Amino acid sequence: MSDKIHPREADKEEEEQEQEQQVSKLSPPSPDRAAEVPVPVPAPVPAPPVPGTYVIQIPKDQIYRVPPPDNALRYKHLSKPKKSRSSLANCCRCFFITLLVLFLLLAVAAAIFYFVFRPESLNYTVDTLSIKSFNLSSSSSSTISPVFDLSLSAHNPNNKLGIYYLKPSSVKLFYKDLNLCNGVLPQFFQPRNNVTVFKTALKAASALELTTSVHNELVAAEKAGTVPFRVNVRAPVKFKVGSVKSWTINVKVRCDVTVDKLTAESKIMWKKCDYSVDVW
């Protein structure tokens, strides 16, 4: 037999091979092969909206940058720039440092003033207290218009400080808390290391009607020979050092005085004076 293949038979074999390939493509893969090929998972289908509702999508820029009208004021307040805590702390620190520097400068100036000029305390004392028109009747109450002639000495022991006594000054005389009469001090200059005597008349602005208790107390005190009074003096002054004058300083003097009787010949039985200074 001959080994040659007829052309028609070769064509038939090729057609049969092509048909087998097409059938293999259409036929499902074998179980072993199907396990190797991944199967795509279908995307979830969104649920249909509930009838009567609407879904509105708002851009992100509109949510953060365009507030609704009812929150416009709140948005404006929150959008304002705020000062940092560090700047506020720096301001407070600078303020306290400035105060501390001023305090130290004042302390140094006061120390220099003290060691250079050696200021000494002023001395005040009541020399005489003459009483007029203070006649107490035997009735349970009485009306009086007293007049007190006061003599007050002021001693300036400083060797380098002069004192200007200015207006307005005031002198008030009390029996306990009852203001009996008032007066003023003269305006003058007291040189250094000097003693000046003030003499002033203290009068009541109007007639005073004493209550029964005050009247009885004064009568009993006069009989015992110990009638207590209090004198309050207030005077604005300026200190002079060389050609330099200080600012106005208020000097306050309180003198407790006890006399033996309520007449022009009264004598001082006991006295004590203290003073204070208001620098500002």
Q: pTM here?
A: 0.61
DSSP 106-170: HHHHHHHHHHHH-----EEEEEEEEEES----SSS-EEE--EEEEEEEEEE--SS-EEEE-SS-E
CB 123 within 8 A of CB 114: no
Q: Under 8 Å CB-to-CB from 24, ≥6 apart: which residues? A: none
Residues of 118-156 as b/e, b for ≥16 C-beta within 10 angstroms?
eeeebebbbeebebeebeeeeeeebebebbbebebebeb
Angle at 172 between CA 170 and CA 177, to 5 degrees: 140
Determine the Cα–Cα distance for residues 126 and 150; give it in Å rounded to an integer: 8
pLDDT at position 99, please?
A: 84
Binned average pLDDT, 10 residues per bin, the chain of 280 residues? 52 64 53 52 61 59 55 64 63 83 80 64 92 74 85 92 93 94 93 92 87 90 94 94 88 95 92 88
Q: Are 194 and 240 in contact (CB under 8 A)?
A: no
Distances (CA, A) of 10 to 6, 23, 257: 6, 20, 157
Q: Smallest Cα–Cα separation from 106: which of 276, 251, 279, 235?
A: 279
- State residue 156's pLDDT score: 93
Q: What is the pLDDT of residue 130?
A: 94
Q: What is the predicted pLDDT for the residue at 108? A: 78
Q: What is the pLDDT of residue 151?
A: 95
